[in-house]
Amino acid sequence: MKIRGIAQAIAEGIRQEMERNDRIVVLGEDVTYWGAVFGFTMGLFEKFGRRRVIDTPITEQTFMGIAVGAAAAGLHPVVSLMFVDFLGAGFDQMFNHMAKNYYMSGGQFPMPVTVITAIGGGYGDSAQHSQVLYGLFAHLPGFKVVIPSTPYDAKGLTIKALRDNNPVVIFGHKLLTGLPFLPFEGIEEEVPDEPYEIDFGKAAVRREGSDLTIIATALMVHRSLKAAEMLQKEGISAEVIDLRTLVPLDEETIVKSAKKTGRVLIVDEDYMSYGMTGEVAFRIQAKALSNLKVPIARLAVPDVPIPFSEPLESAVIPSVNSIYNEAKKLVH
């Protein structure tokens, strides 16, 4: 079937796994009639009812704790965290229990929890509703960190998460959801009707190139592809890599590409300092330093809160033009 954006694809993956596995339950804010606001649980309440799709109060600490206990008791909770910015309210249950209990119990208590949350700015929702923050989860051992950029990936990665005994956090960018009340920068594509998995730790080369490598996630993948088209008109061949997951990270693909092109630009909508761009840059130089023609470049959000003002917001979030300009500097 043809699916526009990642929200419907994620919901489709959950639906198929709920049909296969009656231990999967969905809980969180507005997961019933609203479909979790950004559409990640659309249609599930109508099919499975209140026994398996459960609205909760706006109490992240509580429903994250419920998920931890439910997983320890043998269920597989799917938890909707409306905005990733709200993780602070459920921080203790996620970082000290969800991420650690499987390890601390010596494997006696698997922790099959799938958290789905909305990320990103670009539509004027200000500092408390526009962050990305997946670097926080990637930094702490225990979580698998999944960032789909296409409908095909969104469904396959969701199904993979729902078959995993570890906590997995799926970060869905709002501008890729395909919902009518938001700007849309994603794609519409054919997605298989049958269930399928996409393995974690396998990056996707979205565009082959020879002059430089652009590495990105989520919305930045699509903006990087548009920048690559602009570069091509000037005779610059850019390879674009979609990481898909931060944990596990596909070092093999990014290092291979860096060795091939000798120039690397890492683009991220998360904050610059102590984030994904620095980690990926280090791993590349550790294994491909002698192949690099110029130092690795990074483009990310500067260390400031996301502004409400649209001109200021546009200035801090990497754009097609800023990606194009940074990439061009590596070649000339």
SS3 content of the chain, % helix, strand, coil (to 5): 40, 20, 40
Residues with a catalytic annotation lie at: 129
Phi and psi of 68, rounded to 5°? -60, -50
pTM to 2 decimal places: 0.97
- pLDDT (0 to 100) of residue 34: 87
Instruction: Give dist(CA 153, CA 146) in Å, integer.
Output: 10
- Sign of the torsion formed by the C-alpha atoms of 42, 45, 48 and 53: positive
Encoded tokens for 109: 């208590």
Give the model's pLDDT for residue 242. Answer: 98
Q: What is the mean pLDDT of each run of 10 residues along the chain (332 residues)?
A: 94 98 97 93 96 95 96 97 93 95 95 98 93 96 98 98 98 96 93 97 98 98 98 98 98 98 98 97 98 98 95 97 98 88
Residue owning tokens 């102590």: 274
Secondary structure letter of residue 220 according to DSSP: H
Quote the pLDDT of residue 1: 85
- How far, in Å, CA of 274 to CA of 268, rounded? 12
Gap between the Cα atoms of 123 and 211, Å rounded: 33
Predicted local confidence at residue 313, as pLDDT:
96
